[in-house]
Structure 1
C-alpha cells in the first residue's frame, strides 16, 4: 500500500486531476498561464482554482462582442480596502485575470459573447465545447505597483502562452440571419496595456479599472447560489465589511427599466473615463466622462474640440443637444478608422448598440449650441 499511494498521486497528477494552486510571482514574467495556478483546463472545462473568485460588472468595456470571465485572487490573510468612488486598494500579491472568449455553435461558428449566453452548467467555469478561448490578461500587484501580462491560448485550448509583444488574429463573427463580421482581434503588448490602465497621466502607474464598488455592486450566480458580489467578497475575506453604508451602483447600460441618462453615463464611464477624466491620459482634451462629472461643457455639451483634424469630422461640438448626427461623439463612436474611432483601443468593430444608446441620450438632451 505504501508504494501504491505515491503511484496513485503521480497518476492523478498526470491525468490533470490535481487542482491548480494559485501562485504569486513577486518578480519575472512566467511564460505559461498555468504557472500562476489561477485556472486550469480539466474535463473539457476551464476551471478556477480554490479562492479564485469570479465577478462581473454592471456595465463593461466593449471589446468586439467578446465574452469575459473575470477573477480576483489575493494571498491568504490579505484583503482589499474600500475606497470611495475609486477602485479598491488591493494588497501586494493580488492577481486579477480577465479571460476573453467567444461562444460557438455546433459548427464552431463564433457568436457574440456579451449577451449573457450560458456557456457552462456551472457559471464559474467555461465549457470548452461551447466557447473558443482567445486570451487571458493578468494584472499583478507587486511591491513597485501593478504589472500587466497578456497570455494567448493555443488552438487546443490547453494552455496560454505569454505574448509580451502582443498578438493579432483575424476572426469571423457569425450574426443573425447568416451574415458575418470580420474582427481584427488585437491582444495588446505589455506597453499598450498602459493605454487604458494608466488612468493617471501624471504618475503613469497602472491600475485596475473594473473593481470599483459601483461597477461590481450587483448579484452573481455563484455555484452555491445567487449572491451580491460585495457581500460575497466580504464573506471570502477579500474586503472589510462595508455593508453598513450606502454603496454606489452603476447602471446596466442595456437595461430598459433604468433611466436613459443613468445608462448613458454608466456606458461612458466604463468605456471612456479611464482616459477622459480630469487627470487621465486625455486630460488635455478637457473632456470629462467619469460618472460624477457635472453636465457642463466638460461633458461635451456644446464643447468644441481642442485639436482640429479628422477626429472632428468637420463638426463643431462634442455633443449638440437633440442632434446626435451633428455631434462629434457619434461621429467617432460610429467609425472603425484608426485616427477617428473612439475608444481608439480595444475594438475593431463598431458597437452598434452603444452608438444607439448614446444617440438616444443626445436626442433627449435639451438646449442648443450657439
Structure 2
C-alpha cells in the first residue's frame, strides 16, 4: 500500500512540473528536479550511475559482467532498433529452460536501449537513442524502470511518467521518415510484462536466443557462448534447443515466419496466463489447436475493435480476419498491440496477410 501511495505521489509531482521541464530531459530545471526528488526511492536517477557501460554512455559499450544478446525475431516498436544487454552479478548464472524465460539470479538486470540510426542504410553510423528500459531482479521479483535520453545524448534520466519524442530517419529505400515516438510510463512498462500476477521478461527464452551472433571472438551460437562464459547453466545438448524462425528470412517457411512474428509480438499477452487470456486466443508457438490460434474462431467480445468481422482468422481471407484488421490499424481504439507502437509494421502486416491468404493453398515461401 505504501509503495502504491508513493507511486501516485511521484506521478502527481512529475505532472505538476512545467511541460518544458518534462520534455527537455537535458534541461537544468529537470536535472535539478532529479537531484532533489524522491525518485531515488525507485531506482538510480541516471543510467550512468549503474555502470553498465564504459566510455561515452551513448556508445553503449558493455562493462564487465554485461553481455549483449540478440533475438531471432524481435518485437516491433515503430521501426526502432534495439541494443539488448544482460547484467549478471559476479559468481552467478542464468538457468536454462526449454520453454519459459530463463531463471535469472538475484541482482540480474535486462537492459534494452531503443534508438534510430539517422540512416538505416548505415545502421552502425550516427544514431539517436530515445529510451532505455531496465528490468531488475530483486527479492525474486522483476521490476521495471524507464530512462529517457537527453537531447545531447550524454545521459538518460529516470522518468516514471513516460513522454513523447519526435524522431526522423532515412529508411532502407532512401526515403525520409518521421514519427511521434511514445515512451511508455512505468505502469505501461509493467503491463506488457505481466504473466499471472508477476512481471516476467519476454525475450530471454531459448527459442528466441538460439541463434548465431558475432563478437570479437568470431561467430558462435549465443547459448553455447554463454555456457562457455559461465553465465548459463543446465544447457542440454544442442539438438534439444528450440529455435524460432527469423520472421523476414525467406529460407524459413511462411508458417514458421508468421508464427514466430506472432509469438514475440502478440504471444506475451495472448497466452493462457497473459493479460489477454480472456480472449481465448493463444498466439504463442505453443497453441494446441487451430481454434486456439484463432482460425475460424469467433471473438469473445465484438464491437468496434472487431470491425464487425466474424472470426479472428478466416483461412484464405486476411481482409476478413480480425487479427489482420487490428494489426493493420493505427487507431488507438482498434490497433493491436495496444501499446508499444504508434505506427503500422507494414512488412509484418504483409507477412501475416500472406500467411492467412495462403491457408489451404500449396505451401511456399514469399
Instruction: Bin the TM-score by the shorter chain.
Output: 0.7 to 0.9
- 1 CA distance for matches of 2:145 and 2:299? 34
1:29 alignment partner, one of 43, 50, 53: 43
C-alpha change, 1:47 and 1:294, in structure 2 (3 Å) is: same
The DSSP-based 3-state class of the residue aligned with 2:167 is strand
Q: How many residues align?
A: 321
Instruction: State how 1:1-370 maps to structure 2 within 5 Å.
Output: 28-42=42-56, 45-105=59-119, 111=120, 118-119=123-124, 130-175=126-171, 179-200=175-196, 203=197, 205-244=198-237, 246-366=240-360
Where does the alignment leave 5 or more consecutive residues of structure 2 unmatched? 1-39, 362-366
CA RMSD in angstroms, aligned pairs only: 1.9
The DSSP-based 3-state class of the residue aligned with 2:128 is strand
Report if the CA contact (8 A) 1:297-1:303 is conserved. yes
Q: For residues 249-292 of structure 1, what are the alpha-carbon distances to aligned partners after superposition, in whole Å with 9 as ceiling and x for unaligned?
A: 01000010101101100000000011000111001101011111
- 2 CA distance for matches of 1:179 and 1:82? 42
Report if the CA contact (8 A) 2:258-2:351 is conserved. yes
Report if the CA contact (8 A) 1:195-1:345 is conserved. no
Quote how far apart the aligned CAs of 1:325 are. 1.0
- 1 CA distance for matches of 2:211 and 2:146? 27
Quote how far apart the aligned CAs of 1:36 are. 0.9
Quote how far apart the aligned CAs of 1:309 are. 1.3
Quote how far apart the aligned CAs of 1:224 are. 1.9
Report if the CA contact (8 A) 1:59-1:270 is conserved. yes
Q: For residues 320-359 of structure 1, what are the alpha-carbon distances to aligned partners after superposition, in whole Å with 9 as ceiling and x for unaligned?
A: 0001111111110110000100111111010010111011
C-alpha change, 1:134 and 1:260, in structure 2 (3 Å) is: same
- 2 CA distance for matches of 1:176 and 1:228? 28
- 1 CA distance for matches of 2:208 and 2:287? 16
The DSSP-based 3-state class of the residue aligned with 1:90 is coil
- 2 CA distance for matches of 1:232 and 1:167? 37
Quote how far apart the aligned CAs of 1:180 are. 3.9
Per the alignment, residue 11 of structure 2 pairs with: none
Quote how far apart the aligned CAs of 1:100 are. 0.7
Report if the CA contact (8 A) 2:101-2:205 is conserved. yes
- 2 CA distance for matches of 1:222 and 1:77? 22
- 1 CA distance for matches of 2:67 and 2:236? 19
TM-score, length-scaled by structure 2: 0.83
TM-score, length-scaled by structure 1: 0.83
